[in-house]
Amino acid sequence: MNNKIIIINGPNLNLLGEREQSQYGSITFEKLKENCLKESKKLNLELNFIQSNIEGEIVDLIQNSRVNYDGMIINAAAFTHTSVAIRDALSIFKKPIIELHISNIYKREEFRHKSLISDLATGGIFGLGANGYILAIIAMQKILKNEN
């Protein structure tokens, strides 16, 4: 079917709606999840929307995804800038990857300008707020259908 996707969210994204609204807006994690599930359903994608604060858990998720999913959207949050382990796991996932950030990481502190995963991604979305998730789902559907 080629329609199973996973959205992996890294640390502190569970507190969307509460944390730094100037960067991430007011949408809650639960509402974001609901919106993503709705969009996926519309596009006939089967979505697993998941969050973890734990680096090793995210590594396990990525490893398991290589057999269970056709594409991955990942907002690795702070681990984007620090985690060689997540990078290494992503390099084993030989399917489409979209890197996602709610904020524009290049407009922020210098330590956020470096992503350890961008060169492994098919493409990326940043700075477009929570809507970036919806855009990423639409882009992934086109990639999986070879319409990109």
Residues with active-site annotation? 24, 101
User: Which of 89, 105, 116, 130 is the binder for ligand DQA (CB under 6 A)?
Assistant: 105
Q: Which helix (H) or strand (E) holds 129?
A: none
Q: In angstroms, what CA-CA distances link 25 with 17, 32, 126? A: 7, 11, 14
User: Measured from the CB of residue 95, what is the shortest distance to ligand DQA in angstroms?
Assistant: 21
The phi and psi torsions of 113 (rounded to 5 degrees) equal -75, -20
Amino acid identity at 101: H
- Using CB under 6 A, count the residues that bind ligand DQA: 10
Tell me if 17 sits within 8 A of 27, measured CB to CB: yes
Judged by DSSP in three states, 49 sits in: strand
For position 12 contacting ligand DQA by CB under 6 A, the verdict is yes
Q: Is there binding between residue 33 and ligand DQA (CB under 6 A)?
A: no
**In the complex, minimum distance from the CB of residue 11 to ligand DQA, in angstroms, rounded to a whole number:** 7
Q: Tell me which residue has its CB nearest to ligand DQA.
A: 77
Among 15, 43, 50, 78, binds ligand DQA (CB under 6 A): 78
By beta-carbon proximity to ligand DQA, the closer residue of 45 and 101 is 101
Q: How far is the CB of 16 from ligand DQA (least distance, A)?
A: 9
CA distances from 81 to 55, 115, 132 (A): 12, 5, 19
